[in-house]
Amino acid sequence: MAVIGFRTSDLPVADRFTAWCEMANDALVPNAIRSDHAADFRAEARLQNLGMVQLTALSYPPLETYRPAKLIRRSDPEELQLMVAWTGSQRIVQSGRDTTVAPGELLLYDTSRPWQGWTAPATTMIQGVMVQFPRSVLPLPEKGIRDLMVRPLAGREGLGALLTGHLRRMAADTGVYTAADGPRLGSIIIDLVTTLCAHHLERDRAVPPETHRRTLQLKVRTYIEQHLGDPHLSPESISIACQISVRHLHRLFEGEELTLSAWIRQRRLERCRRDLGDPALLHRSIRALAAHWGITDSARFSRMFRAAYGVSPNEYRGQALHFRRPSLT
């Protein structure tokens, strides 16, 4: 999947701030920007086109942004922007609301209404992710969406943590997705945003059943990824942690390419294969690497690995390290 990268450090110092403003106006939404760091503006952006969604990873020094009515009249994409910063606090004023959000909190605002935003004075760099999408794709009442705008939404617990964790992984794993993955990944983000908004509005009935299903499935997959190393990971333990029945858990994976157990096995084998090819882990035995990812039976691990990749773990390690080893000339 194509990722557009932009770094001001690639440009002459005198051109950096102007180039950043032009990029923000073209790729995000037209707005006026001012910064005390304009003389040597060091910032980065990585943009991913995910169908109806644009995801942008951002890193920039303190600045102020303005989107007055005249710029809205000139260009109004009728979109919403959702921002979460990992570092730094931000303040925004829109539609009579004045809100400051701390790191990890989510902020939703409207490109069709004037705003003014500031970076908190003590902030050295803002690092985070912005998601931009049409208002029309959220299947929620317009009034409800307006009620959630320009107010902090918790991003460190519950559904907020699920969304911010997914956005963070999306921003980091730019090289693992194909162009065909883009629209599907965008749909997952819209599902998560919809579910989070419905939760805050107590309008779960307004959320389509398929959105609920995909959101819950992502919650389950996230839990599994975080506990692959637990040899006792099972449908029973997963269902307890995710507060659903075992029967419901298995239904979530109906129609998928892999069953729940097969997907867990695949993810564990993928992690083991990665570690077997890592020269930094050569001091660890194959048995220890497998146990680290929850597979404690060495003979069973060897059979599963050969069935998946056509060679034994020992053969794969030898081949992978041979191809990594620099030639001597």
- What's the whole-number mean pLDDT along residues 93-115? 93
Give pLDDT, residue 142.
86
Q: For tokens 């794709």, what's the residue?
A: 137
Given 221, 246, 276, the domain boundary residue is 221
For 215-253, how does the pLDDT look when each residue is reduced to its tens digit (9 = 90+)? 788 888 888 988 999 999 999 999 998 888 999 999 888
Given 186, 204, 221, the domain boundary residue is 221
Q: Which pLDDT band, with edges at 50, 70 and 90, does 329 fall under?
A: very low
Residues 67 and 193 both lie in one domain: yes
Whole-number average pLDDT of the chain:
88
- What's the whole-number mean pLDDT along residues 67-84? 92
- Please provide the size of the chain in residues: 329
Give pLDDT, residue 326.
44
Judged against a pLDDT cut of 80, whether residue 64 lies above it is answered with yes
Residues 217 and 234 both lie in one domain: no
CA-CA distance, 4 to 1, in Å (whole number)?
10
CA-CA distance, 316 to 313, in Å (whole number)?
5
Given 202, 221, 240, the domain boundary residue is 221
In total, how many domains does the chain have? 2
Check if the beta carbon of residue 19 is closer than 8 Å to that of residue 8.
Answer: yes
Domain that holds residue 33: 3-221
Residues 38 and 90 both lie in one domain: yes
Q: For tokens 């959105």, what's the residue?
A: 211
- What's the whole-number mean pLDDT along residues 41-66? 94
Q: Which pLDDT band, with edges at 50, 70 and 90, does 304 fall under?
A: very high
- Which CATH number goes with the domain that contains 151? 2.60.120.10
Query: Looking at the whole model, is its pTM more than 0.75?
Result: no
